[in-house]
């Protein structure tokens, strides 16, 4: 029997997952509109808690000021990398000429980035709420408390990394790491959500063997992670091309990306095949309104939207809406696969 306080934790945890996905959508909008440097400083925006809407509201000599601030912060980051034995990476940041190029003020881009940051703050608040409510499990499931608190530290690191994303002027590998950390936050939240829901339930028992499904689901999760990394590589290549062409010639960007786009496109075929096999394996083992079957159906729907957005990106000159949706639904697909894995992991095979 789930108590009222446990139900509140589960509800807050679920809302946290949804808000985290919305933060990823907001990040996708920021990248697709080129608003990543809309706020050149962090955590404030042009030294203000409420961003400016006019050039007259900007600080004096703001371009020189924020370039100098970025250089100073990057030097600290470079020393941090050196302490980890990453001397070449540290030197590449020190000598990156893009860092010294000031960003022109654009109110639309500034507010787009600012709203993205507000979404991140909201996600952080709900993660704090989740951690606070997790203490109701101090006698029954301490792992929920540990993981909920761990997620706060991950978010803290993610926020710090967000400041590095700004100071390095969207350095490619930092943006990728920023995305992967968002997946870690989702994984922890989904795990605690599922664990709390299943805490007082007996594992499901079915007639068919479940081991192959568990193994293939794990393989599919790994495929999805590789596909997301390839997708971020494609996005980073697009950013470089867009800068080199001053955002012109949009219809030529895909052709200039190179092999990484081909790998990403070909990997999509493997993603389709893997998810199709999973759906077949799930419907062979579950029926009615079983949670794994419903989740598998959501996976197929998410995969369809993901593929349509990918086709739009490849053949309709990278429309910004499709870019944001592509990022969101790739993350949703991974999240649903992980949730299905957790559901299936608790399933047992009936033995006489």
Q: How far apart, in whole angstroms, are the C-alpha atoms of residue 168 and residue 63? A: 15
pLDDT mean across residues, the chain: 85
Domain limits, the chain: 1-201, 202-352
| pLDDT tens digits, one per residue of 138-157 | 988 999 999 999 999 998 88
The predicted structure's pLDDT at residue 167: 64
pLDDT band at residue 189 under the 50/70/90 scheme: very high
Q: Are 203 and 4 in contact (CB under 8 A)?
A: no
Q: How far apart, in whole angstroms, are the C-alpha atoms of residue 66 and residue 175? A: 20
What's the whole-number mean pLDDT along residues 218-238?
90
Q: How far apart, in whole angstroms, are the C-alpha atoms of residue 130 and residue 78? A: 34
Looking from the CA of 96 toward its CB, the CA atoms found within 13 Å total 21
Q: How far apart, in whole angstroms, are the C-alpha atoms of residue 226 and residue 155? A: 22
Give, in degrees to the nearest 5, the angle at Cα 343 between 331 and 285: 110
The Cβ of residue 231 has, within 10 Å, a number of other Cβ atoms equal to 22
* Residue bearing the bigger pLDDT, 10 or 59: 10
| pLDDT tens digits, one per residue of 44-53 | 888 888 888 8
- Nearby residues of 132 by Cβ (< 8 Å), 6 or more positions away: none
Q: Are 169 and 156 in contact (CB under 8 A)?
A: no
pLDDT band at residue 255 under the 50/70/90 scheme: confident
Token pair of 243 as six digits: 């800068």
| pLDDT tens digits, one per residue of 119-139 | 988 999 999 999 999 999 998
**Residue percentage of the chain with pLDDT more than 70:** 94
Put simply, whether the predicted model's pTM sits higher than 0.75 gets the answer: yes
């Amino acid at each position: 029997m789930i108590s009222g306080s446990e139900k509140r934790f589960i509800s807050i945890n679920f809302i946290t997952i949804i808000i985290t996905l919305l933060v990823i959508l907001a990040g996708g909008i920021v990248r697709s509109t080129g608003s990543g440097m809309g706020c050149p400083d962090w955590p404030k925006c042009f030294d203000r808690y409420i961003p400016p809407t006019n050039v007259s509201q900007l600080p004096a000599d703001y371009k020189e000021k924020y370039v100098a601030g970025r250089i100073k912060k990057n030097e600290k980051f470079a020393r941090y990398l050196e302490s980890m034995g990453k001397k070449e990476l540290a030197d590449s940041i020190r000598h990156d000429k893009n860092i010294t190029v000031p960003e022109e003020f654009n109110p639309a881009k500034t507010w787009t980035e600012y709203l993205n940051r507000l979404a991140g703050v909201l996600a952080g608040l709900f993660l704090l709420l989740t951690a606070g409510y997790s203490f109701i499990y101090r006698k029954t499931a301490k792992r929920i408390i540990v993981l909920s608190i761990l997620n706060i530290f991950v978010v803290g690191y993610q926020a710090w990394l967000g400041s590095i994303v700004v100071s390095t002027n969207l350095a490619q590998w930092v943006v990728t790491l920023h995305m992967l950390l968002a997946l870690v936050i989702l994984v922890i939240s989904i795990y605690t959500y599922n664990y709390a829901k299943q805490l007082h339930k007996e594992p499901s028992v079915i007639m068919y063997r479940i081991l192959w499904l568990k193994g293939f689901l794990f393989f599919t999760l790994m495929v999805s992670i590789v596909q997301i990394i390839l997708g971020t590589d494609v996005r980073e290549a697009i950013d470089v091309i867009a800068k080199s062409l001053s955002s012109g010639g949009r219809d030529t960007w895909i052709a200039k990306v190179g092999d990484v786009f081909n790998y990403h496109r070909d990997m999509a075929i493997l993603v389709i095949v893997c998810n199709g096999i999973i759906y077949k394996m799930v419907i062979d083992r579950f029926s009615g309104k079983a949670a794994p079957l419903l989740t598998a159906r959501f996976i197929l729907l998410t995969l369809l939207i993901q593929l349509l957005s990918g086709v739009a990106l490849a053949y309709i000159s990278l429309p910004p809406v499709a870019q944001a949706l592509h990022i969101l639904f790739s993350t949703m697909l991974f999240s649903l696969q992980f949730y299905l894995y957790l559901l299936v992991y608790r399933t047992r095979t009936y033995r006489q």
